[in-house]
Amino acid sequence: MKLDPAAKTALHNAGFSRRGFLKTSGALIVGFSAAGWPSRSQAQGPLPGSPAMNQLDSWIAIGADGTITAYSGKEELGQGIATAQQQLVAEELSVPFNKVNLIYCDTALTPDQAHTAGSQSHPTNFNETNLAKAAATARETLIRLGSERLGIPEAQLVAADGVVMSRSDSSKRISYGQLIAGRKFNLAVNPNAKRKDPKDWVVLGKPVVRPDLSDLVTGKFVFVHNVRLPGMLHGRVVRPPTVGALVASVDESSVQGMPGLVKVFVKKNFVGVVAEKPYQAIQAAAKLKVNWNPGKPLPNFATLYDDLRKQKGTRDTLLVDSKDVDQKFSQAPIVVKATYLHPYQMHGSMGSSCAVADVQGDKATIYSATQAVWYQKNTSAMILGLKPENVRVIFRRGSGCYGVNGADTVTYDAAILSQAIGKPVRVQLTRKEEMAHENYGPAYVLDQKAALDAQGNIIAWEHESWSPGLGGRPGANQPGNIITGYLLGYEPAPFTPRSTAPAPTAYANNSNGIPSYFAAQFNGRNQGCGTIESGRVMTHALPSAFWTGPLRSPARLQNTFAHESFMDELAARAKADPVAFRVKHLTDKRLIAVVNAVAKGINWDTRPSPKPNARRTGVATGRGMACVLYEGDNGYSALAAEVEVNQDTGKVVVKRLVAGTDVGPISNPNGLNNQIEGGALQGLSRALLEEVTWDNEKVTSFDWRTYRTLPLGFEVPKIESILINRPEEEAFGAGETSITVVAAAIGNAIFDATGARLRQVPFTPERVKAALSTRT
């Protein structure tokens, strides 16, 4: 059964594994997020006006000079996908890398491929009938046209270096430019077009240097922050000072006569100013007197997790239920329980978000770092009251967003202010506006319970978790999911309680809610990665006081922290080596392979944890590991860590990380390593330091002092990255693999070193000391 790209996206967003779905027959289910939150875009085909996805001309154009232009809906955020896509097209069309001009994410030019997110860019454009197949179709078409023009059978022709020529007589040739000369193909993309054999790759698979590096290091690169339009003015916003506060009144006279001030603009609860120079706008926004009606009191920070667990009216989802778990627990000789806690964390982009909008009458041109230009076009049109076809959104890179930062919200800010004065307006958020109002990665409470038999095998495992949510990505039509849309009067996506979770009918591990060690039998077939047949996974979604949205490895990271820490606790209980214990309960060969590769790479000391005869004061050292198949079908990752724990101060220093990664065929090993290393260190910062805090009315993490994060010069661990290249497999995403397993690997290493178990992230020195003090 073949699935068209929209269907695959719909399934993915609904939490269904592509592998699982394709192998079972079943009705096409479209559009529902299993967790009840639209934190990923709802299933949505390409929006009206998008170049047709199934037409070759939407993707590839060849000029008379032979230059190849490729159009993509997946954008470069810093993750290396532009380079990989350019390599892909160059490879499939057999031209040098620099002969391909890749244009991405401009609604006037490129197809609607929804968001660049979710580690889906490689699967979407490399596996499915999109960019890769388009380039392959173009190559086959060139051969066919060359055959007609040269009068030589196709089988005797080869496309190489921009030319179609006879294999036996290279003087019989015709260039791509001569064959196509800027005309349209007027062909459909052929889903059966033959991809180049990875054995023959000369561009793909190579560590091609990213073409933007030179501009980045010389200050020539144009970020959205650098976009300038003639006559451009500067806008700044005034956000609620406390959570949920709404405008009572605005005293425009408080800024009257300020130098360069052009306008004060208020619409419902949106407040902004426009001035000639940025500093003038900043001063006016700071000086403007706004009276606010306070919002509801915030939940108690100190009792957050207990309160989450107790909340009524949750939306419940069962991911798996073998229906015999309670029975197994009642019969088991050993039952182990543990609860894990993970805080709200923020995306914390390096540069606060920025956009430039030019709204003239009924038309708008917007430069935005949005992850979805077509959806931004639609929602900007909504808030401006314009027709979507008259709104153009052009992606310009922002600062790394790690999921969803202020890029969409500041785009609305710029658009609405530009419309208010009929001139181009650039808006950049302050550090506090970026941090206090972003859509956080939400907190999690994760209960784990498992039964062991007398031989130390896991015979049943139950997971129950709670996590709040509010809003998320604005998607194609929900601007109220983010702060500016909300202030302008749009509502966030509604929360719908559901107290009886429907019985799960298909394997859907998009959230990694199902531990890797589950067999997860559906329709008579095991679809999980492991051996455990008795299992239950129940998740509870509930309303959040703070905006939430996908933060790099959303839910997957928190679930994996719980599962991989708990697996380690079970191994300790069974007095088994953590690596051997995992392998014993795994069936997925590729997952076993990354685990073994990493164990070998770190020279894993095979024995149970904790380390015997360890000292109980001073500095202790230990090793730990964790593994996951991201989303159940999108990237194999394992990580081993060596740590030093100062048992007197509680300080943890990670000395060494060995990461193992299997994402199928590697497009660019250098780019892949950059993501693996970056993800590992970002995971380290989140595991050791990061936590959003608040008092009874406002968020208190609003700059780099109040939201702690690892700086450049911290004691960086030695990182080794082992890449397993599988050219014959489908391409997986990689940007969220290593980050998913860091917290558990470190927690497990701390346990190995000290016998103290950390169950709450971040592992601050205070928490480490508290755990040390409860050791038996």
Partner 1 sequence: MSRVLSTPPLPLTTDQGVETNLDVARKKVRAPQSDSSTIRHLTLATIPLTLVLRGTKMSAIRLKVNGREHTLDLDPTTPLLYALSDDLALQGPKFGCGLGQCGACTVIVKGQAVRSCVTTVKSVEGSEITTLEGIGTAEKPHPLQKSFIEEHAAQCGFCVNGVIMTAKAFLDKNPKASSEQIQQAMSGVLCRCYTNVRMLRAIERAGRELSR
Torsion of CA 198, 200, 201, 205, to 10 degrees: 50
Q: Should residue 210 be labelled a site residue for partner 1 when binding is judged by CB under 8 A?
A: yes
Alpha helix stretches (DSSP H) within 196-262: 213-218
Among positions 113, 349, 376, 740, the unique one binding partner 1 when judged by CB under 8 A: 349
The one-character DSSP state at 420 is H
Closest CA to 21 of 466, 381, 509: 509
Shortest distance, position 86 Cβ to partner 1, whole Å: 12
What is the Cα–Cα distance from 82 to 303, expressed in whole angstroms? 44
Q: Is 174 helix (H, G, I), strand (E, B) or coil?
A: strand
Q: Which is nearer to partner 1, 111 or 535 (CB)?
A: 111
Q: Should residue 178 be labelled a site residue for partner 1 when binding is judged by CB under 8 A?
A: no
Q: Which is nearer to partner 1, 134 or 538 (CB)?
A: 134
Q: Which is nearer to partner 1, 339 or 709 (CB)?
A: 709
- Within 376-435, the residues that bind partner 1 by CB under 8 A are 394, 397-400, 402, 428, 430-431
Among positions 34, 43, 53, 77, the unique one binding partner 1 when judged by CB under 8 A: 77
Q: Which is nearer to partner 1, 515 or 554 (CB)?
A: 554
Cα angle, residue 566 at apex, residues 456 and 343 outer, rounded to 5°: 175
Q: Should residue 442 be labelled a site residue for partner 1 when binding is judged by CB under 8 A?
A: no
> How many other C-beta atoms are found inside a 10 Å radius of the C-beta of residue 257?
6
Q: Which stretch binds partner 1 (CB under 8 A): 71-79, 442-450, 475-483, 609-617?
A: 71-79
Q: Should residue 522 be labelled a site residue for partner 1 when binding is judged by CB under 8 A?
A: no
Among positions 130, 322, 352, 509, the unique one binding partner 1 when judged by CB under 8 A: 352
Q: Which is nearer to partner 1, 185 or 440 (CB)?
A: 185
What is the Cα–Cα distance from 306 to 292, expressed in whole angstroms? 31
What is the Cα–Cα distance from 42 to 32, expressed in whole angstroms? 7
Q: Is 507 helix (H, G, I), strand (E, B) or coil?
A: coil
Q: Should residue 222 be labelled a site residue for partner 1 when binding is judged by CB under 8 A?
A: yes
Q: Should residue 540 be labelled a site residue for partner 1 when binding is judged by CB under 8 A?
A: no
- Within 305-334, the residues that bind partner 1 by CB under 8 A are none
End-to-end Cα separation, the chain, in angstroms: 57
Shortest distance, position 279 Cβ to partner 1, whole Å: 5
Shortest distance, position 214 Cβ to partner 1, whole Å: 5
> How many other C-beta atoms are found inside a 10 Å radius of the C-beta of residue 655?
14
Here the tokens at position 575 are 């007095």
Among positions 350, 422, 575, 728, the unique one binding partner 1 when judged by CB under 8 A: 350
Here the tokens at position 117 are 């997110």
> How many other C-beta atoms are found inside a 10 Å radius of the C-beta of residue 226?
15
Contact 269, 488 (CB under 8 A): yes
Q: Is the Cα dihedral 189, 191, 197, 202 positive or negative?
A: positive
Contact 591, 663 (CB under 8 A): no
Shortest distance, position 196 Cβ to partner 1, whole Å: 18
Q: Should residue 217 be labelled a site residue for partner 1 when binding is judged by CB under 8 A?
A: yes
Shortest distance, position 391 Cβ to partner 1, whole Å: 13
Torsion of CA 255, 261, 262, 264, to 10 degrees: -30
Q: Which stretch binds partner 1 (CB under 8 A): 175-183, 322-330, 444-452, 534-542?
A: 175-183
What is the Cα–Cα distance from 558 to 542, expressed in whole angstroms? 16
Q: Is 184 exposed, middle or buried (0-12, 13-18, 19+ CB in 10 A)?
A: exposed
Q: Which is nearer to partner 1, 21 or 71 (CB)?
A: 71
For residue 60, which amino acid is it? I
Closest CA to 409 of 360, 354, 357: 354
Shortest distance, position 708 Cβ to partner 1, whole Å: 11
Shortest distance, position 167 Cβ to partner 1, whole Å: 23
Strand-pairing partners, residue 272, are: 237, 265
Sheet holding 157-160, edge to edge: 157-160, 163-166, 173-175
Q: Should residue 362 be labelled a site residue for partner 1 when binding is judged by CB under 8 A?
A: no
Shortest distance, position 138 Cβ to partner 1, whole Å: 12
What is the Cα–Cα distance from 149 to 53, expressed in whole angstroms? 29
Q: Which is nearer to partner 1, 20 or 146 (CB)?
A: 146
Site residue total, partner 1 (CB under 8 A): 96
Q: Which stretch binds partner 1 (CB under 8 A): 212-220, 447-455, 456-464, 517-525?
A: 212-220
From residue 600, alpha-carbon distances to 132, 244, 734 in Å are: 35, 52, 22
> How many other C-beta atoms are found inside a 10 Å radius of the C-beta of residue 453?
15
Phi first, then psi: what are they for 570, rounded to 5°? Answer: -65, -40
Q: Which is nearer to partner 1, 411 or 527 (CB)?
A: 411
- Within 180-199, the residues that bind partner 1 by CB under 8 A are 180, 183-192
Q: Should residue 762 be labelled a site residue for partner 1 when binding is judged by CB under 8 A?
A: no
- Within 623-682, the residues that bind partner 1 by CB under 8 A are 670-671, 674-675, 677-682
- Within 449-468, the residues that bind partner 1 by CB under 8 A are none
What is the Cα–Cα distance from 772 to 766, expressed in whole angstroms? 10
Contact 92, 133 (CB under 8 A): no
Q: Should residue 154 be labelled a site residue for partner 1 when binding is judged by CB under 8 A?
A: no
Phi first, then psi: what are they for 253, rounded to 5°? Answer: -65, -20
Here the tokens at position 281 are 């706008």
Q: What is the CA radius of gyration of the chain?
A: 27
Shortest distance, position 280 Cβ to partner 1, whole Å: 8
Strand-pairing partners, residue 127, are: none
Contact 627, 637 (CB under 8 A): yes
- Within 225-264, the residues that bind partner 1 by CB under 8 A are 225-230, 234, 259-260
Q: Which stretch binds partner 1 (CB under 8 A): 84-92, 343-351, 599-607, 640-648?
A: 343-351
- Within 706-745, the residues that bind partner 1 by CB under 8 A are 709-716, 719
Q: Which is nearer to partner 1, 569 or 736 (CB)?
A: 736
- Within 267-306, the residues that bind partner 1 by CB under 8 A are 277-280
Among positions 25, 168, 171, 218, the unique one binding partner 1 when judged by CB under 8 A: 218
For residue 78, which amino acid is it? G
Q: Should residue 693 be labelled a site residue for partner 1 when binding is judged by CB under 8 A?
A: no
Q: Which stretch binds partner 1 (CB under 8 A): 106-114, 358-366, 504-512, 761-769?
A: 106-114
Residue holding tokens 């860590």? Answer: 641
Contact 697, 640 (CB under 8 A): no
Q: Which is nearer to partner 1, 214 or 303 (CB)?
A: 214
For residue 716, which amino acid is it? V
From residue 288, alpha-carbon distances to 263, 472, 627 in Å are: 12, 30, 52
Q: Which is nearer to partner 1, 452 or 684 (CB)?
A: 684
Among positions 68, 84, 179, 416, the unique one binding partner 1 when judged by CB under 8 A: 179
Q: Which is nearer to partner 1, 178 or 526 (CB)?
A: 178
Q: Should residue 65 be labelled a site residue for partner 1 when binding is judged by CB under 8 A?
A: no
Among positions 144, 363, 600, 651, the unique one binding partner 1 when judged by CB under 8 A: 144
Q: Should residue 496 be labelled a site residue for partner 1 when binding is judged by CB under 8 A?
A: no
Q: Should residue 348 be labelled a site residue for partner 1 when binding is judged by CB under 8 A?
A: yes
What is the Cα–Cα distance from 69 to 138, expressed in whole angstroms? 12
Among positions 109, 266, 335, 592, the unique one binding partner 1 when judged by CB under 8 A: 109
Q: Which stretch binds partner 1 (CB under 8 A): 220-228, 324-332, 496-504, 618-626?
A: 220-228
Shortest distance, position 682 Cβ to partner 1, whole Å: 5
Shortest distance, position 368 Cβ to partner 1, whole Å: 14
Distance of CA 411 to the CA centre of its chain: 20
Q: Should residue 214 be labelled a site residue for partner 1 when binding is judged by CB under 8 A?
A: yes
Contact 568, 609 (CB under 8 A): yes
Q: Which is nearer to partner 1, 279 or 499 (CB)?
A: 279
Among positions 61, 88, 157, 627, the unique one binding partner 1 when judged by CB under 8 A: 61
Q: Should residue 139 be labelled a site residue for partner 1 when binding is judged by CB under 8 A?
A: no
